[in-house]
Structure formats: C-alpha cells, structure tokens
Structure 1
Amino acid sequence: MAEALLSLRGVETHIGRYHILHGVELDVPQGGLTMLLGRNGAGKTTTLRTIMGLWRASAGAVRFEGRDITRLATADVARLGIAYVPESMAIFADLTVQENLVLAARSGPPRAERLDRIFARFPALRRFWTLPAGLLSGGQKQMLAVARAIIEPRRLLLIDEPTKGLAPAIIANMIDAFRELKDGDTTLLVVEQNFAFARRLGDTVTVMDDGRTVHHDTMDAFAADQALQQRLLGLSMDTHQ
C-alpha cells in the first residue's frame, strides 16, 4: 500500500454536548481513491469536516504529508491543497457557472487549459456557462461543485456523497471524471452510499460505525467478502446497487 498522504490518529470530535467521533484511525494512501463507508449516522461527514477544520477535533491528530494540521483554520487547510465538496454542494445559486468557478480560483481567473480539462469532464458546464447556478439540475450542480474544487490543482479531494439523488447517466459521467482524477495527481477520500459506485472506483476502503473506524482493507478484498459487508453495513454490495 502506498504511503499515507493523510492520517488521523485517535481523533475525537464533540459538537456541542454531543460526542460524535470516538478515536478515529484513518490512513488515506497517496494516489488513488479511498472510500469511507458506513451506515447513516456513523460519523463519516463529521470526519470530513474535522479534517477540514470546520469542526475542531477535541483530541487526537490529523496529519497531511506528515504535518500536523489538527489546529489549522479551514482556510489554511485549503491552502495546503485540500478541497472539500460537501453533500449540500455549497454552490452560489445566484451567481453564474462562470462566476462560481472564478471565485473558486484563488490565483486569479482560471487558465484556459484548466477550463478545457473541466469542460472535457463536465461538458454541461460549458453549455450553461452564463446561466445562474441555481437553475442547473441536481446533477449539473454536483458537476459544478466538483469543478469548483478542482479549478486549481489539489493534492487531496474530500467529497461527501457525490452521487446522492443523481440519475444513472450522471453517475456514469461522475465515475469517468473521478477515475481520471485519481489516475492523475489527485488523491480522493469519498463518502458514498452507492455501493456500485464505491466498488467500481475504490482502491481502499475504511468502514465506520458509531463514530469509530472499524475496518480497513483494499476494495477488492472487502467487495469479495459478503459476510463482512453484511456485518458492518447491514447489506451486501452485490445486492445493493
């Protein structure tokens, strides 16, 4: 397995009086795509938000490229080359597609070659370039959310349920785009409930339950063990498409 780009050791997170994460241990290998799986309420989204500094870890350590980033502000985490696509997508509905992408580019207007790569992955964004983002379909909004995250080169992408509510044709488009990203220089950590999507794209997998990480494996090994899937997820990846 490749060296870890991101690692969490003993991470605890409290939100108000609620204790959400209980000693999370996670390694995201350099390159490829790690799937973070688990039942609803297992703590997957909280893990992503804790990595980004949106919620502060109350104990433990988050390290990126060997550097402790546990106490960094979210903006400083982003400057290290980490981008986050939340389940809500968090696009600016009143701004055009173009304006959304320009705002996401820290170093000024996006370079033409970068835009060409994004349009190749998500052709709809070129078609609706001057349209307010709020008028896009759900799948197009998700494309825009991912495009905003990669408008500049990123070392690590954290993506929360990218296929939720999307039509099969849009999911197929997402699979192609994510495969191209992971085959490049970008490492991905993805929370997903669509197990067909997870199985096709995941290189490694971590399973969470009740705020804890309970299993780590290659995706091939995990996908081959239906009894383990049933025990950890309550269903089989073969029967849940």
Structure 2
Amino acid sequence: MPEPILQLSGVHTHIGEYHILQGVDLTVPRGGLSVLLGRNGAGKTTTLRTIMGLWKARAGTVRFDGRDIAALPTPDIAQLGIAYVPESMAVFSDLTVRENLYLAARNGPLDEQRVEWIFGFFPALKKFWHYPAGNLSGGQKQMVAIARAIVEPRKLLLIDEPTKGLAPAIIQSLIAAFRELKQTDTTILLVEQNFSFVRHLGDTVSVMDDGRVVHAGGMRELVEDQDLQQRLLGLALSSHQ
C-alpha cells in the first residue's frame, strides 16, 4: 500500500479549557476523496484546523507527505501544498472575485487556462469577476472560496461543509468539480453533513464521536450497511437520498 498523504496519530487538541480532540487517529489515502463524518460537536472542524496549524496539537503527530507538520506555523503548512476552505468561507469582502483568486496564486500571475477550467464549474464567477466578493450570495461566496483553494494545483484540500445552505444546482456544480479534481493529483478531505452528496463522491470515510475516530473504512461499506449508519450516526443514509 502506498504511504498515506496524511496521517494523524494520537492527536490531542485543547481550545482554552476544553479538551476537544482526545487521541485522534486518522489516515487519508493518497488520491481520491476521504470524508469525515460525525454529529455536531464531534471534533471534525477542530481536526481540520489542527491539520492547518490554526489550533496546535498538544500531543500526537500530524504527518503530511511523510513529514510531521504539527509544530509548523500555518503559512508554512500552506506552502507545502495544503489548502483549507473553512465553513465560514472567509472571502475578502472588499476585494473583487478576481482579486480573491489572485491573492491565492502563490506562484505568480493567474493561470488563465486554469481560471477558464474553474469557470466551467462555476460560471457565475465569470459573470461577477470584477464584483466585490462581499456583494455575492452565500452560494457564490462558496464558489469563490473553493475556486481560491484550487486556483493552483494543491496536494491536499481540506474542505469544511461546502454544501451548507446551498441550492441544489450549485451542489451539482460542486459534485462535478470534486469528481474532476479526484482525477488529478489532488487529495480531498471533506467534512460534510449532506449524506446524499458524500455517498456519491467519497472513496473512504471516517466517523468521529466525542473527539475520536470511531470508525474508518470504505464509503461503500457504510452506504450499504444501514445498521452501521444507525449505530455510528443515529440515522440511515437512505433517508437523505
């Protein structure tokens, strides 16, 4: 088996007095799309933020591409080829769509061919290219946030709840974008609550509860086992199709 692109071992993260991650073990295979599921408050977002160095692990290792990055500052982690799309989207409201993407292009001017590729998934971005991002709808801001993360090739994308509050048509655009990204050298780790969305995209899945990973395996196994869904998540995916 090839070495995983990302591996967390025994990771503990505290936020103030709260012990959020309590020994997380998580493996993300190289290539494809891995999904992180769990109830609200299970520790999913904290896991992504710990990987990015926004919150520091108090114990354990975070290995990316064979290197422990747990102690690195966030800018250095980003320079290694990891991009993070937070649930809040965090676009620069006063800057245009173009300027938001330009800031994310670390290696110089925007690659116009890649920008056209992004427009294929999110045509609204072409229409609003010179509009302030703060004037866009929530769904359009989500497009900007994801486009910013993929404006240059990345080794790993960390994406937190991309479909939250989005219209079905925009979700279909996201599905198309992620399916094409899966065919590249980009690995995706996705936190999501829309089970209909992830069941069609995920290759592997890990389930968190109370700050730990309590299940890891193939997405097909979880989709086909309603008893397992009920035990891990308290619901059946079939009710979210």
Shorter-chain-normalised TM-score: which range? over 0.9
Residue 238 of structure 1 corresponds to 238
Segments of 5+ residues of structure 1 without an aligned counterpart are none
Task: Deviation per CA, 1:113-139: give whole Å up to 9, x if none.
Answer: 121111122111111101111111111
- What are the within-5 Å matches in structure 2 for residues 1-241 of structure 1? 3-241=3-241
Partner secondary structure for residue 183 of structure 1: coil
1:12 aligned partner, one-letter code = H
C-alpha distance in structure 1 between counterparts of 2:16 and 2:138, whole Å: 32
Q: Which runs of 4+ in 1 moved over 6 A?
A: none
C-alpha distance in structure 1 between counterparts of 2:66 and 2:53, whole Å: 17
C-alpha distance in structure 2 between counterparts of 1:206 and 1:114, whole Å: 31
C-alpha distance in structure 2 between counterparts of 1:219 and 1:183, whole Å: 18
C-alpha distance in structure 2 between counterparts of 1:95 and 1:5, whole Å: 33
Q: How many residues align?
A: 241
C-alpha distance in structure 1 between counterparts of 2:129 and 2:49, whole Å: 30
Instruction: Rate the CA distance shift 1:2–1:123 in 2: closer, same or farther, 3 A.
Output: farther
Task: Deviation per CA, 1:185-204: give whole Å up to 9, x if none.
Answer: 11000000000001010000
C-alpha distance in structure 2 between counterparts of 1:144 and 1:179, whole Å: 18
C-alpha distance in structure 2 between counterparts of 1:112 and 1:171, whole Å: 25
C-alpha distance in structure 1 between counterparts of 2:201 and 2:139, whole Å: 19
TM-score (norm 1): 0.98
CA RMSD of aligned residues (A): 0.9
C-alpha distance in structure 2 between counterparts of 1:5 and 1:240, whole Å: 31
TM-score (norm 2): 0.98
Segments of 5+ residues of structure 2 without an aligned counterpart are none
Shift of 1:2: 5.0
2:139 aligned partner, one-letter code = G
